[in-house]
Amino acid sequence: MVSILPVGILAFWQHQTAVNNEFSVVENQHKVIARNLAIALDRYATDLRSAFQLTTDNLQNTNKIKGLEWHLSELYFQHVCSIDATGKIKRLQCALACPQGQQFPETVLAALEDTLRAATDDPGTIQLSGITHNPEQQPAFYLVRKMADGNTAIGEISTQYFVELQRAVAFGEKGHAAIVDNVGRVIAHPRQDWMNSMKDLSGISVVQKMIAGENGVTRFYSPAVKADMVAGFNVVPAVGWGVMVPQPQAEIFQHAQSISKAALTIAILGIFAATFLSWWISGILSKPMQLMADAAQSVAQGDLASKVHLSSELRPIEIRRLEKSFNRMIDDVGRKNTVLVNLAHEAISSSSHKSAFISSLNHELRTPMNSVLGFAQMLEMNDEEPLTEKQKSAIEHILRNGNHLLELIDQMIELNEIEAGTLPLNMEDIPARDVFNESLYLIRARADQDEVSIIDRTGDEDLPLLFTDSTRLIQVLLNLMSNGVKYNRKDGVVALSCEQLPEHMLRISITDNGIGIPAEQQDSLFQPFERLGHELSQIDGTGIGLSITRQIVEMLGGQIGFESSEGKGSTFWVDIPMSVKQASVQKTVKASDSAASNNEDQHESGPDRTVLYIEDNPDSLHLVEAIIGQFGNIRLITAENATVGYDLSTSQKPDLILMDINLPGMNGIQALNRLQQTRETKDIPVIAITSNTLPKDIEAGLKAGFTAYITKPIKVSEFIQTIDQTLNNAGKLG
Ligand code: ADP
């Protein structure tokens, strides 16, 4: 396609050039032919004059030159004679023909009137007449000379020589030569009738030019051929005759056209050849490219065995090199992929090892911590044997450090879950008010302890619905508010406020007027285990809270940020997505602090109850024994494993079963199933007491049918409350 335009232009240019060339060649040729004819005629005229002079001289002599007749015939003389003033023929030399009678024809003498006068005016010279008719009505020329004896010599010449000369020049279909006399009458011409009638062509431009004595080339309209002609023309100088060589311009165009047609044909063939060649070459190039593209796609889809195999057809060296490089690249990709897959497997297995390790560490730490913290709490709560101040302080230390250790374990597990992407989220539409109330309620106890006020500035008006995991968001707000409390002073203030942002986000801000964060430390704020210089301070902390908080906020589709000024306080804000369903949000009643209940009030005295505790760890057994001992009306029976526990359940039919989950042999869940399937035991409430604290474990436990799920280390007051409540419910049901 690209080649069509230049080839088209080339073809047009070629046509124009062919026409121009053809004209210039033809014009040159015709000019040369015309000149050569003129030279030949000039020569002829000279020969005629010489022969006429010789003959006329000879007529006066008595010694006649022999062979003159033949010589004259060769020059197409009819005859040469001398006549007297009356026209009577005095002497005669015949050549091709002899005149009829003694008297020279009057008609001819009349036609030669001008020539005769010229001869008389200049005796001795030879005058040439124009073309005229002889007595036989044939076109002829006459040479006239006034002789010394007073007679006039006249030679008649036929136009045969001109006709032969003219006939020798014929080319093309209508190309020809024409000869006119000095006044433009036809001497020789392809049209016989014009010759016979000595047609006067003096009206034609080219003839006029010749009469004017010009030589050259011209274009003109020919009435004879009825066409535009191009002609070379030349004057015969000695006699004033004109010779022209005309040819119809159409013939020249035709010739040029046939040349340009040939050029166009070659150009079109060239386009076809180029098209075929480019199709062939593109086949050679594109087929391998297509194969490589297919192979690349297969590789992208994971088939690393796919290779490019080009046939041994003619292929450029670059393509063959590309094939080799491509296959080498696939090999490399395959090798690297294997390495990466192995690394990924290693990473996955090391990550799952890490998770398993953390999970078992959690379990292993919680079991002894259960005893340590449980007994410490028991000592603290033992009103019968009050502790000395020193002992109280020691117990406080044990509890504080133990709880710190637990917090650290909890956060490490959470961090691990977030990193492993296994932290479950339960996204739902929830009123912001509910989240705020719950968070405010939970933080107040801690704030009261530290003598810091919590202010709710979220306003009384309807707050939007959030689309979030409420438990996780509460965790986030609690962490930020507890930091506001922790890193504060006595009588400090922590305020919760919110504002709606565009893009359906609610900005929740927690502002404290505490110690603030130095500007140079602010960049490392969200780094895990970064406590910004509080490692050795009295303020509890692990340095993981903000790191977890940020990751949870991002998982909830939000963002976290802060502003802080050292010595003045900080504002932490989180942007949380709002629900698209902002229907009427029910105003919920703010949770009141009075919801917190006193454990001791929960002890309800009632009928004697039996509680079975199935636990393989003796320390845990002792702890629960000590706690249950506080209930005056509860008989505690224990079992070291689930099988014994099951037997005791069926035989003793306890009111409540407390069960560890990680038991030797039958585990707690299996034991629960068995109890549920046994008629005597299926209605007994079973509470799990376990170190399996992962959310997935808790969920699985509750699903299995445990009435409650208590995690170790036991919080004694909560534990007592749960047992009390369960026994009461069981009593009511029973
Ligand atoms: P932790 O409180 O357990 O040390 P965090 O990750 O919650 O860990 O916080 C990291 C550190 O950021 C804290 O140790 C403390 O130095 C600083 N920090 C966090 N919140 C505040 C705040 N409201 N005011 C001053 N410092 C803060």
Using the atom order of ligand 1, give the atom closest to the CA of residue 542.
3
pLDDT at residue 294 above 70? yes
Query: What spacing in Å lies between the alpha carbon of 551 and ligand 1's midpoint?
Result: 16
Residue 594: predicted pLDDT: 33
Distance between CA atoms of residues 431 and 473, nearest Å: 12
Q: Which two tokens stand for residue 232?
A: 């070379």
* Probe target for ligand 1 pocket from 487, 529, 573, with the most ligand atoms within 8 Å of CB: 487
Choose among 76, 100, 350, 288: nearest CA to 188.
Answer: 76
Residue 324: predicted pLDDT: 81
| Contact (CB, 8 A) for 559 and 579 | no
Q: How confident is the model at residue 650 (pLDDT cuts 50, 70, 90)?
A: very high
Report the chain's mean pLDDT, rounded to a whole number.
85
Query: What spacing in Å lies between the alpha carbon of 542 and ligand 1's midpoint?
Result: 9
* Probe target for ligand 1 pocket from 406, 414, 483, with the most ligand atoms within 8 Å of CB: 483
Choose among 675, 547, 670: nearest CA to 612.
Answer: 675
Give the side-chain half-sphere CA count within 13 A for 160.
10
Distance between CA atoms of residues 37 and 32, nearest Å: 9
Average the pLDDT over 651-671 and give the result.
93
| DSSP code for 200 | B
What confidence tens digit (pLDDT) does each residue in 394-431 have? Answer: 888 888 888 878 888 888 888 888 877 778 888 888 99
Residue 600: predicted pLDDT: 40
What confidence tens digit (pLDDT) does each residue in 540-557 have? Answer: 888 889 999 999 999 888
pLDDT at residue 353 above 80? no
pLDDT at residue 474 above 90? yes
Residue 585: predicted pLDDT: 44
| Contact (CB, 8 A) for 387 and 397 | no
Residue 84: predicted pLDDT: 93
Q: Where on the phi/psi map is residue 87: left (φ > 0), alpha (ψ -120 to 50), or beta?
A: left
| Contact (CB, 8 A) for 102 and 169 | no
* Probe target for ligand 1 pocket from 478, 480, 546, with the most ligand atoms within 8 Å of CB: 546
Distance between CA atoms of residues 61 and 185, nearest Å: 37
Query: What spacing in Å lies between the alpha carbon of 544 and ligand 1's midpoint?
Result: 9
Within 382-496, residue ranges assigned H as helices are 389-420, 432-449, 470-486
Distance between CA atoms of residues 493 and 488, nearest Å: 8
pTM for the model stands at: 0.44
What confidence tens digit (pLDDT) does each residue in 119-147 have? Answer: 999 999 999 999 999 999 999 999 999 99
Question: Is 385 exposed, middle or buried, given 0-12, 13-18 or 19+ CB atoms closer than 10 A?
Answer: exposed
Distances from the Cα of 146 to the Cαs of 77, 84, 216, 225, 563, in angstroms? 18, 10, 37, 43, 142
Nearest residue (by CA) to ligand 1, atom 21, is 483
pLDDT at residue 478 above 80? yes
Q: How confident is the model at residue 154 (pLDDT cuts 50, 70, 90)?
A: very high
Query: What spacing in Å lies between the alpha carbon of 483 and ligand 1's midpoint?
Result: 6
Using the atom order of ligand 1, give the atom closest to the CA of residue 479.
7
| Contact (CB, 8 A) for 510 and 479 | no
Nearest residue (by CA) to ligand 1, atom 8, is 543
pLDDT at residue 515 above 90? yes
Distance between CA atoms of residues 720 and 598, nearest Å: 11
pLDDT at residue 1 above 70? no
Q: How confident is the model at residue 591 (pLDDT cuts 50, 70, 90)?
A: very low
Query: What spacing in Å lies between the alpha carbon of 379 and ligand 1's midpoint?
Result: 32
Instruction: Kindly write down the DSSP assignment for every residue of 95-129, as one continuous string.
Output: SS---SSSBPPHHHHHHTHHHHHHHHHSTTSEEE-
| Contact (CB, 8 A) for 518 and 566 | yes
283-286 long-range contacts, CB within 8 A, separation 24+: 284/313, 284/314, 284/315, 284/316, 284/319, 285/316, 285/319
What confidence tens digit (pLDDT) does each residue in 674-713 have? Answer: 999 999 999 999 999 998 888 788 888 889 999 999 988 8
211-216 long-range contacts, CB within 8 A, separation 24+: 211/182, 211/183, 211/184, 211/240, 211/242, 213/240, 215/31, 215/34, 215/35, 215/38, 216/31
3-class DSSP assignment, residue 87: coil
Distance between CA atoms of residues 732 and 727, nearest Å: 9
Query: What spacing in Å lies between the alpha carbon of 487 and ligand 1's midpoint?
Result: 7
Higher pLDDT, 586 or 199: 199
Average the pLDDT over 596-607 and give the result.
44
Query: What spacing in Å lies between the alpha carbon of 525 and ligand 1's midpoint?
Result: 7
Q: Which two tokens stand for residue 2?
A: 């690209």
Distances from the Cα of 407 to the Cαs of 440, 443, 536, 690, 709, in angstroms? 20, 16, 17, 17, 19
Q: In this structure, which amino acid lies at residue 58?
A: N
Query: Helices 545-555 and 389-420 sit at what angle, rounded to 10 degrees?
Result: 40
| Contact (CB, 8 A) for 572 and 562 | yes
Question: β-strands 175-176, 170-171: how paired?
Answer: antiparallel
Using the atom order of ligand 1, give the atom closest to the CA of residue 407.
3
Residue 473: predicted pLDDT: 95
* Probe target for ligand 1 pocket from 410, 476, 485, 531, with the most ligand atoms within 8 Å of CB: 531
Query: What spacing in Å lies between the alpha carbon of 531 and ligand 1's midpoint?
Result: 6
What confidence tens digit (pLDDT) does each residue in 54-105 have? Answer: 999 888 887 678 888 999 999 999 999 999 999 999 999 999 999 888 999 9
Question: β-strands 428-431, 227-236: how paired?
Answer: unpaired
Distance between CA atoms of residues 18 and 235, nearest Å: 30
Using the atom order of ligand 1, give the atom closest to the CA of residue 514.
24
Distances from the Cα of 416 to the Cαs of 92, 355, 426, 497, in angstroms? 149, 7, 19, 31
pLDDT at residue 521 above 70? yes
Radius of gyration of the chain (CA): 67
Q: For ligand 1, which residues put their CB under 6 angstroms from it?
A: 483-484, 487, 512, 514-517, 525, 530-532, 534, 541-547, 570
| Contact (CB, 8 A) for 50 and 60 | no
Nearest residue (by CA) to ligand 1, atom 19, is 483
Average the pLDDT over 102-117 and give the result.
93
Using the atom order of ligand 1, give the atom closest to the CA of residue 488.
24
Choose among 583, 579, 576, 574: nearest CA to 462.
Answer: 583
Residue 465: predicted pLDDT: 92
Query: What spacing in Å lies between the alpha carbon of 494 and ligand 1's midpoint?
Result: 14
Does a cis peptide bond (omega within 30 degrees of 0) precede residue 248? Answer: no
